[in-house]
Amino acid sequence: MSSIDQLASNWVARRYSGRMDAAAEAAFQVWHDADPRHAGAYLRAEAAWVLLDRSQVLTHGDGISEDILSSPLSALPNRARPEPTRRAVLMGTVAASVAALAGMAWFLRSRLSFETGRGELRKVPLADRSLAAINTDSRIDVAMSPRRRDIHLVKGEAWFEVAKNPDAPFVVSAGDIRVRAVGTAFSVRRHDDGADVLVTEGIVETWSVREPGKKTRLSAGDQAFVADAARVATAYEPDEVTRKLAWRERKIILREETLSDAVAEFNRYNEQQIVIADPSLAGLKLVGGFDVDQPEDFARSVHAASEAPVSIRSDRIIIGTQSGAG
């Protein structure tokens, strides 16, 4: 068994003991998030744990002793016992059949859904070792097989770092729009009439199912809006691609975007909605960088730049006044 699988099994045993303190839980989260391989190994070990025969476990006790809980993860003891404990059965199962558990883990992760609420961002390791970063108020459905990797972007936006596998194309669908890659990195944002596609690495191919014979190839630095009617507007703008993907760092970067567009972006992430009361301010051009969850800082910057009145309430932020219109 690899050292990663060993550590994953140790973590499962400790976490399911019910006696993890806050410091240990924090240490686990650091380890889990440090490498996608850690997340995969943990899922395999957890699958083995869950599938162990519960009656056998109950017969032999919980099998988690205090010395195991207090020992460093790299030096947990392997002592013979008269009867197998749950942890011993787990370790034996993983050691004897890592390949079988890997297949089981693939099955468990090959058909899953991941969803975020407003303001929530998630990074999710997929079964094929790809990575999905899911933006606010979004959902993806994942269905994978040895020959094809299908991602359905039900709503919102996601960025994918695709593990290379020429035998299994990675295809993202967003309504009628399709984006296909083998080993690359790109994002898709779904709209009612099409999808934005931004490429950060490699090459992708995109099309509409309405005209499957008309495919467009995009390279790193390209951005495109692909309409349902197979109209594709493309541009090579690497700086703009980087700006639009700043959400992965929980940032909103403005480079002469209008106030109306900036407000729409902030409202994607926050319950405290921004309202432009004076329509004459909607076209105001803005430059700056902000945290996605700091709409009040943004509103104060708008006030400083334009002297427009700003009213901050618990549920909304009002920029301008009705009387200022016209």
How many angstroms separate the CA atoms of 280 and 324, rounded?
A: 8
Q: Residue 236's beta-bridge partner residues?
A: 222
Q: Residue 187's beta-bridge partner residues?
A: 159, 198
Fold of 250-324: Phage tail protein beta-alpha-beta fold (3.55.50)
CATH 2.60.120.1440 matches 110-242: yes
Please indicate whether the domains covering 110-242 and 250-324 agree at the CATH topology level: no
170-198 pLDDT tens trace: 999 999 999 999 779 999 999 998 999 99
277-289 pLDDT tens trace: 999 999 999 999 9
Asked if 273 and 319 count as a contact pair (C-beta separation under 8 A), the reply is no
What the block records as the tokens of 275 is: 């309202």
3-class DSSP assignment, residue 154: strand
196-208 pLDDT tens trace: 999 999 999 999 9
Q: Where are the domains of the chain?
A: 3-96, 110-242, 250-324
How many angstroms separate the CA atoms of 187 and 141, rounded?
A: 15
304-325 pLDDT tens trace: 988 899 999 989 999 998 654 4
Predicted pLDDT at 67 = 40
List the strands of the sheet with 316-319, edge to edge.
273-276, 316-319, 310-312
How many angstroms separate the CA atoms of 193 and 174, rounded?
A: 10
pTM of the model: 0.66
Type of residue numbered 83: E
Distances (CA, A) of 296 to 249, 276, 325: 19, 14, 22
Segment 118-136 shows an average pLDDT of: 94
Those residues whose C-beta lies under 8 Å from the C-beta of residue 44, and which sit 6 or more positions away, are 5, 8, 94, 98, 101, 102, 104, 105
How many angstroms separate the CA atoms of 243 and 199, rounded?
A: 12
